[in-house]
Structures are given as C-alpha cells and as structure tokens.
A and B are shown apart, each in its own frame.
Chain A
Amino acid sequence: MKKTSAQGSEDPILQWVTFRLDNETYGINVMQVQEVLRYTEIAPVPGAPSYVLGIINLRGNVVTVIDTRQRFGLDSGSVTDNTRIVIIEADKQVVGIMVDSVAEVVYLRQSEVETAPNVGNDESAKFIQGVCNKNGELLILVELDKMMSEEEWSELESI
C-alpha cells in the first residue's frame, strides 16, 4: 500500500485511485494500478468465464479485461467517452478492469477508513475493504486481490 512520509507513523496516509461505476465511487490501491487506458476494442475469448470481457493488446502483451460491473453484481452499462480500462496488478497477474470513468487519486488516512458491514453472504461482498467519506461522498474501497477466488485467478492466468 502506498504510504507517504507518514509511513512510520501509526496513522499512515494511503493513496487510492478512484473510479466510478454505476454512480458510485470506488477506490483501489494506487500501488496496484499500472496505467489507465482509454477504451479500446476488446477481443472476446470464446469459452472464457462470464466475468471476462476479453483480451486487449497492450504494447505486445495480452491483457485480460475483467467485466467489473458483472463482478460487482451491477447491471451492464454502455461504453462512453469516459470509459476506461485500468490496468492493475493483482494476485501477481496483470489484468484490466473496465470502469465507467476514472476520477482522481485521493489521500486517505488509515484511521479514516471504516470497515464495511459484514452481513452479506455474496462472494462479492468479500472484496469491499472498507468505506470512507471523502469530499462529501462515500468512497468504497476495493481489495483487488479478493476480487477473484484462487481458482478464478488461476483460470484467468490460463486465458
């Protein structure tokens, strides 16, 4: 986790890249973000799991793009000018997640982050790391490593 000069202190400041999905704002650890791409054509992969949109060619490397909306249990949306593919590293893999838009990088104190309610049986509830109020809105912090199960990460690797 990216920590600023306050790294050694008891209340480190963390940096989060925020993105929008279905009118909500989510945050992911900036250290896991490699780059943000404009939407580019995604080649579907026959037989791929439903949460995989397809693959893109990123400077000669094949990167799998995950359908973030589907993963978060949201309705599918349309591609707009603001649509972005965020290239992230999670579980030692480089994958892309498609989001409605990328907003900014925010600094949050560890103490500002509240744990999320632990009441859901749904698998997707597990990758909500916490919530935080920032600039008058609620930020939902996502733990990317938990976005997939071990089996799913392995499955992704084999695509």
Chain B
Amino acid sequence: MSRPTATASRPQLALQSYLDGLLQEAAAELADVIAPIAAPVVAAAPVRPVPVPAPVAKAAPAPVDDDAISLDEFEAAVLEEQVRDARLQAPPAAARPAAVKLERPTLVLPTLEMAKPVLMPTLLVEQPAPVVEKPVAEKPVVLTPPVAEAPVVASVVERQIHADMSPTPPPLQLSGQPSWGEEPFECLLFDVAGLTLAVPLVCLGSIYPLVGQELTPLFGQPDWFLGILPCQAGNLRVLDTARWVMPDRYRDDFRQGLQYVISVQGYEWGLAVHQVSRSIRLDPKEVKWRSQRSQRPWLAGTVIEHMCALVDVAVLAELIASGAAKRLTSDGRVH
C-alpha cells in the first residue's frame, strides 16, 4: 500500500483522463446541442479530444503551463456537463424526437423528511494532533469555517468527524442544488487516483486509516465493493471510489495505495481514498451545480477554482443502500 507516488505524481494525468472520459460521453451528443446552447460551447468543443500522452505527464517542470492546460480541460469538462444537463432539461424538440423518448430515470430514492441540519459538523480530536505544537489534549477542537491553510493530512486522519447532528443522513435531492449547498458549506478534499474530490462535511461520518488494516472481501459482490472493514462503529462496507467515479478510466493499480476510508454519515458505507487533503469552505456560487442528475446522480457539481468534483456522498450511499446501484449502467444511469 505504498503507491502514493504513482497517483500523486500524475494528478494532471488522472484528472485529464477523467475529464476526457466526461467529454467522450458527451461527444456524440455535442453536435446536436451546440446550436441551441450559447456560442462558447462551440469554442470549447475542439478542446475535447485531448488524449493523455505521456509527455504531458512528464512536463511537470512547467507547472504553470500544466495548470493552465488542466484548468482549460476542467472548464471544458464543466461546460460539457452543462451541455449534457441542458440537453436533459431541454424541452422535447421537434428535430430530435429520439431524445424525447429517452427513458426517464426510474431512480426513486426515499426522501427523508428531516429538519434541515442547522449545525455545522465539527472535527473532534480524539488524540493529540501530532504536528500541532501546543497540545490539544483531549479537548475537542472545533474547526472554524475556512481552513485554507496547508494540508492537514496527518492530523485529519486521527480526527473523527462527528457531525453534531442526528445520525440520520440529510434529505436527498436529485436535482439542482442539494439542501446543504444552499448556504456556504464546509468540504473535505481528498484524492482518489490523482483526482481531487470534494465532499460536504455534513454528509461525512469518520475517517478510518486503511493502512495495515485488512478488508474482508465477500464473494458475489460487484467489483466496486472492496470488502468489509471492521471498525469501532461496526462493519463498514468499503467501496472502490475510483471505480465509481471513473469506471472507464479505471486501472487495477488504483486499488493500491488506498490510505483511508471515509464513512458516510448515516450509512454503513465508506469511500476508499488515496489521500485526505484539507477542508475548505465553499460558497454555493463557487460551485457549478448540476441541474439534472439522472446520470451520475452522486455528482453534485464541479468547483473550478479548486479543480475538483463535488460529490454528494449521501446520494451515492443511498444509491447503494437502496439497491439502485444494481441497476446502474456503465454510463452512470440507473435503469
């Protein structure tokens, strides 16, 4: 489990690969959609077919250029998402009867009628943070909103995120902005196979180290099910996040070097990740929310500033827990 270099050294590559996948999915539809959508879409289209050549990964010494390229790619991907969303939302056009007949997604997730969470989750330090100079003792440290400082990887691991709310998950919403995204919210950034993902803290449970732990596989389960991790809260079912997020780009070596499991609040499921980065505070305006989530319902939106995808883990967990994941097609739709 010591592969971090493999992924960390190629974040651009992985991100580009993922985005390329996103773009490819929309490729067939793009031509139809360009006209009804705004002109910039046309400009973005040529950016799409960027293969992932090795030289790009080797161009690390020029970080500024790389960043620029990645940012373009990211923006292009966001644009593609918008295009796709717009297409899904567009009223049936006479010219495209086939689109009208597209099967509407049949995913019906139970709506939990809960009061909207008012309290922001707090990070409680159970052990003294190793890097902090002044001892934190056992006194809970409440992280105040934006922690945009250096990565807190080491200390975050030993923290348990106790969402100071009821253990039940927040209400699920499959279109537009989730309820937790209506106001500025805290997010945890983590890395999966070089791709940065953000998840709202309100949906998170705890972080468990995976190094040195053994996952118990179960036969007959889908390939994205890594196994069961016994932990103090019980048996946590661990899913292969990379396989969910980028199934088309998945490589077997992504299973190496997984460091942590992040459990989802209110569910027995956790996401295996390569690295936990830091927490940030996001304003809803910073997020490009997906208006329609019939495809990849777990993807709430994208954050261009941080070049990351915002994952609605509650929807992801509910998708799995409800059994809807069994009906998940390779393109992320639930049939």
Given known contacts A119-B320, A119-B323, is B216 in contact with A138 (CB within 8 Å)?
yes
B219 adjacent to A114 (CB under 8 Å): no
Which B-chain residue is minimally distant from A125 (CB atoms)?
Answer: B220
A24 adjacent to B217 (CB under 8 Å): yes
Which B-chain residue is minimally distant from A128 (CB atoms)?
Answer: B218
Interface centre among A72, A119, A127 (most CB of B within 10 A): A119
B235 adjacent to A126 (CB under 8 Å): no
Given known contacts A120-B225, A133-B230, is B216 in contact with A140 (CB within 8 Å)?
yes
B325 interface contact, C-beta 8 A:
yes
Among A121, A131, A133, A136, the residue within 8 A (CB) of B218 is A131
A117 adjacent to B221 (CB under 8 Å): yes
B218 adjacent to A125 (CB under 8 Å): yes
CA A137 to CA B268, docked complex, whole Å: 18
A10 interface contact, C-beta 8 A:
no
A97 interface contact, C-beta 8 A:
no
B139 interface contact, C-beta 8 A:
no
Main SS class of interface, A: mixed
B222 adjacent to A131 (CB under 8 Å): no
B110 interface contact, C-beta 8 A:
no
Among B216, B219, B228, the residue within 8 A (CB) of A74 is B219
Interface residues of A in 17-52 (CB under 8 A from B): 24
CA A74 to CA B220, docked complex, whole Å: 10
B251 interface contact, C-beta 8 A:
no
Interface centre among A24, A117, A138, A140 (most CB of B within 10 A): A117
Quote the shortest CB–CB distance from B223 to chain A (angstroms). Answer: 10
A80 interface contact, C-beta 8 A:
no
Main SS class of interface, B: mixed
Q: Place the interface of chain B in its size category.
A: 10 to 19
CA A121 to CA B221, docked complex, whole Å: 7
Which A-chain residue is minimally distant from B323 (CB atoms)?
Answer: A118
CA A123 to CA B268, docked complex, whole Å: 23
B216 adjacent to A24 (CB under 8 Å): yes
B323 adjacent to A73 (CB under 8 Å): no
CA A10 to CA B235, docked complex, whole Å: 23
Q: Which residues of A contact B216 (CB under 8 A)?
A: 24, 131, 137-138, 140
CA A23 to CA B3, docked complex, whole Å: 24
Q: Which residues of B contact A136 (CB under 8 A)?
A: 230
Q: Chain A 118-157 against B: per-residue CB contact (8 Å), 1 yes, 0 no?
A: 1111111111100101001110100000000000000000
Interface residues of B in 230-258 (CB under 8 A from A): 230, 234-235, 237
CA A7 to CA B221, docked complex, whole Å: 33
B225 adjacent to A117 (CB under 8 Å): yes
Given known contacts A131-B228, A138-B230, is B217 in contact with A120 (CB within 8 Å)?
no
B217 adjacent to A121 (CB under 8 Å): no
Given known contacts A117-B225, A119-B325, A119-B326, is B220 in contact with A131 (CB within 8 Å)?
no
B234 adjacent to A120 (CB under 8 Å): no
A119 adjacent to B221 (CB under 8 Å): yes
A120 adjacent to B230 (CB under 8 Å): no
Interface residues of A in 58-114 (CB under 8 A from B): 72-74, 114
A159 interface contact, C-beta 8 A:
no
Q: Which residues of A contact B217 (CB under 8 A)?
A: 24
Which A-chain residue is minimally distant from B237 (CB atoms)?
Answer: A117
Quote the shortest CB–CB distance from A100 to chain B (angstroms). Answer: 14
Interface centre among B216, B230, B325 (most CB of A within 10 A): B216
Quote the shortest CB–CB distance from B116 to chain A (angstroms). Answer: 29
CA A131 to CA B234, docked complex, whole Å: 11
CA A128 to CA B230, docked complex, whole Å: 17
CA A121 to CA B320, docked complex, whole Å: 12
Q: Which residues of A contact B237 (CB under 8 A)?
A: 117
Quote the shortest CB–CB distance from A18 to chain B (angstroms). Answer: 14
B323 adjacent to A120 (CB under 8 Å): no
User: 16 A–B contact pairs at CB < 8 A?
Assistant: A24-B216, A24-B217, A73-B219, A74-B219, A117-B228, A117-B237, A117-B320, A120-B218, A120-B222, A125-B220, A126-B220, A127-B220, A128-B218, A133-B230, A136-B230, A138-B230
- Additional A-B contacts beyond A117-B237, A120-B218 (9; CB < 8 A): A74-B219, A116-B218, A119-B222, A120-B221, A125-B219, A128-B218, A128-B220, A138-B230, A140-B218
